[in-house]
Structure 1
């Protein structure tokens, strides 16, 4: 026999062993799946609707420290516009606005809690920005409050404009857009200042109240409502100028478009209800309407809700238990609240505001 006859099997054997070694190495480097991934619940592969319905309640991340938006009283009862957004989602899914477990989150931990699945929805006076929408892997829902950043000072400080804050200590909450916005504006105007930052909103306002800072910056709505809780509210002034755009919107985690669509259209339903002049007070009458647009929106005709995978009358449940957008706004921030905040940009589009829902068809 020739020498090549013996050499070929040996070469094949060596080649086979090398291939096996490569496959073994690749398998060893493969990450071990987490329990969530084994169960099909990884961050990018979660069936939120199925999980929430099976759990029987919605897990909602809020601040819990901002009156008018989300605040918990001594009895443990939550109230506010952000709270009512989550109550509206629970109403649509369970016909029960109280089927919500609220979790207080500070600005630093809120996104991690959402990304990890600890909460199903983040409804925490959060500004919609490009980086949060992309690199933070969040999916923002419709804007529920159009705001702008401002500054509050003591009346006796004689501060009238931003230039009067040269070399001043200014309190801000870290982990928020306010910290960066302030830096941008002061740099733009070549005004030196000293930022004093805190992680917790209460600590930030307490520092301002104690005189640690000459001014405090936050969303104007937050300044207005927190001013009422200061020991001497009449001695503090929210300055007129606005230094940024702050569209505040709930958010869900990326990776489940079905869940995102459901939350999105439940929120839109509160806005559309006001636009169609449907409220909790006239809902029974509107359910008898002959108007095709109203009947479709309320689920009397068509299959809008069913097509999303939820009850066809989801909008009815939202209006019955929580109300339309005007009712939510008025009781938490507007004319029926302690704050009496004018709606301004938060009026419906037909009243000169920015609130607008796409067609329900």
Structure 2
């Protein structure tokens, strides 16, 4: 037998193993999360996990098992997350990395979709009355030395022939302190990181994250290669959260929309068609998800948006009908 054929046969058992069956056998989902990520995955004072990543894991648990509490969490790190997933220690990584060609082809994983559009942003004091990055030519910026953030900022400004002055530090806490002390006009880093740091400043309301992104980083769920059935469940759960917001379905009004004249709403509720059967789920799985967890807008607002300490604008994470990038494939 050739080496190529041997490799093909040795890989077959992993593809045959069903994550969906494993979850049902153990009666809970195992989610791999990065601990201490405000707004996304953190442990609250009462010991319970909370955040956007957590809510998405709970949505999956509802879709498969009908209960949002049927989840166990495994803390993973950037160094081991793909190995942990490949080793079947977790069923899904809810928001681990942005998709790149190398990550999508070299780690035995599949990127499902985008749960959150992150990217490199810019924080500035409200007193500067700046509405756009394009108004910042000549500004000084605090940035970690030798990082992708420095490279991304320089590339963005140079392409637009804008002047700038770098104020660098070797560590992120020192970079933030330099900005807080007023030694630079701007602070640049991942948008979610900027929002977290802003919430800890003495007067968060006096600092604004500008709408433009210096670089984009779409983040979303990742599953193992070779399990198309589970991939479909994760993908269509994500699509259902977004579709519910598009249709105006929330956790508060979903019951009042029973027998709606809108065919798409009736289909979403499981009244018009059985969309759960091809996924191996209950007929009303998407109804249960929104009833227990909410739609995408509800998840965003309470974890990272207006109702959270991060107070992020929807921006690119808004629906496509409101100028954002979030859109759902039709559930039909």
Q: TM-score with structure 1 length normalisation? A: 0.74
Between the aligned partners of 1:143 and 1:151, the Cα distance in structure 2 is: 22
Tell me if the contact between 1:81 and 1:329 (Cα under 8 Å) persists in the aligned partners: yes
Q: 1:52 aligns with which of 10, 19, 23?
A: 23
**1:255: how far off?**
1.2
What residue is the counterpart of 1:120 in the other structure?
91
**1:60: how far off?**
0.8
Inter-CA distance 283–161: structure 2 relative to 1 (3 Å threshold):
same
CA deviations 1:193-228 (Å, max 9, x no partner) are 87847xxxxxx4x45456699887532122112321
Tell me if the contact between 2:143 and 2:149 (Cα under 8 Å) persists in the aligned partners: no
Tell me if the contact between 1:92 and 1:314 (Cα under 8 Å) persists in the aligned partners: yes
Q: 2:194 aligns with which of 212, 223, 240?
A: 223
SS in 1 for 2:106: coil
Between the aligned partners of 2:222 and 2:137, the Cα distance in structure 1 is: 32
**Residues 1-361 of structure 1 mapped to structure 2, 5 A cutoff:** 40=13, 42=14, 44-124=15-95, 126-151=97-122, 170=144, 179-180=147-148, 182-183=150-151, 186=154, 189=158, 196=170, 204=172, 206-209=173-176, 217-230=188-201, 242-361=213-332
CA deviations 1:52-95 (Å, max 9, x no partner) are 11111111112221211222124321111111111110111111
Instruction: Spell out structure 1 runs of 4+ moving beyond 6 A.
Output: 190-195, 212-216, 234-237
**1:184: how far off?**
5.3
| Larger mean Cα displacement after TM superposition, 306-315 or 225-234 | 225-234
Between the aligned partners of 1:261 and 1:304, the Cα distance in structure 2 is: 12
SS in 2 for 1:98: coil
Tell me if the contact between 2:251 and 2:295 (Cα under 8 Å) persists in the aligned partners: yes
Q: TM-score with structure 2 length normalisation? A: 0.79
Give the gaps of 5 or more residues in structure 2.
Answer: 127-134, 160-164
**1:241: how far off?**
5.6
Superposition RMSD in Å:
3.6
Tell me if the contact between 1:67 and 1:226 (Cα under 8 Å) persists in the aligned partners: no
SS in 1 for 2:20: helix
SS in 2 for 1:264: helix
Tell me if the contact between 2:143 and 2:188 (Cα under 8 Å) persists in the aligned partners: no
Between the aligned partners of 1:352 and 1:150, the Cα distance in structure 2 is: 18
Between the aligned partners of 1:349 and 1:276, the Cα distance in structure 2 is: 13
**1:49: how far off?**
0.4
What residue is the counterpart of 1:14 in the other structure?
none
**1:164: how far off?**
5.8
CA deviations 1:10-35 (Å, max 9, x no partner) are xxxxxxxxxxxxx9xx99xx89x99x
SS in 1 for 2:110: strand
Give the gaps of 5 or more residues in structure 1.
Answer: 1-22, 173-178, 198-203
CA deviations 1:276-319 (Å, max 9, x no partner) are 11111111121232432222221123221111111111101111
Tell me if the contact between 2:251 and 2:294 (Cα under 8 Å) persists in the aligned partners: yes
Between the aligned partners of 2:208 and 2:300, the Cα distance in structure 1 is: 23
CA deviations 1:108-142 (Å, max 9, x no partner) are 22222222222111123532222222222321122
